[in-house]
A = this chain, B = another copy of it.
Amino acid sequence: MTEVILETDALRAFLAAQFPQVIDQVVLEEVAPMRARMRLLRDDRHLRPGGTISGPSMTLLADVAFYAAILAMIGPEPLTVTTNLSLTFLRKPADEDLLCDARILKLGRRLASGDCLLYSAGGSPDKPVAHATLTYALP
C-alpha cells in the first residue's frame, strides 16, 4: 500500500458529504502517499481568551487530517474510527489559519498509527504549535 487511491478532489467531496458540520472549518490542501495536509480556517468559534486556538479545534484539525491521510490510501471507508488521540501543546499560535501535516507511520490491516504537526500558516513546521499522535481502527 504505497499509492494514493483516493485523490485530493475525490477525498474533498467524500469529506464534505460525510462531515457537513466541519467542512466549513477545514480544507484539505493536498494528499500524498501516507501524507495529508489540512487547513483550519481560523474564525471566532476556534478562539479562546487571548486569541489562542482552542484544544478542541486542534483535535478537530488533527483528527480530520489523519483520517484524510488514511482514506487516501484505503479508499472511502466511513467505519474508520479514532481509538487514541494525544495532543502536546507547544507554542501560542499566530493570528492566522493553522496547517496540519499528517503522516502515517504504520498502515496495518487492523490499525493505522502516525502523527501530525500543527503550525501557523505563515510560519514553519519547524516551529509547531502542537504535535499530535493518533491511532485509528480500520474496518
Contacts and interface: CB of A to CB of B under 8 A. Distances in A.
A55 B63 CA distance: 8
15 contacts: A21-B45, A49-B78, A55-B59, A55-B82, A59-B87, A83-B111, A84-B88, A84-B135, A85-B87, A85-B89, A90-B105, A90-B113, A110-B110, A110-B137, A131-B133
Copy count, this protein chain? 4
Identify which of A56, A59, A114 gathers the most chain B CB atoms within 10 Å of its CB: A56
A113 B18 CA distance: 28
Interface string A104-129: 01100011011101000000000010
Interface of A: 18-19, 21, 44-45, 47-49, 54-57, 59-60, 63, 78, 81-91, 105-106, 110-111, 113-115, 117, 128, 131, 133, 135, 137
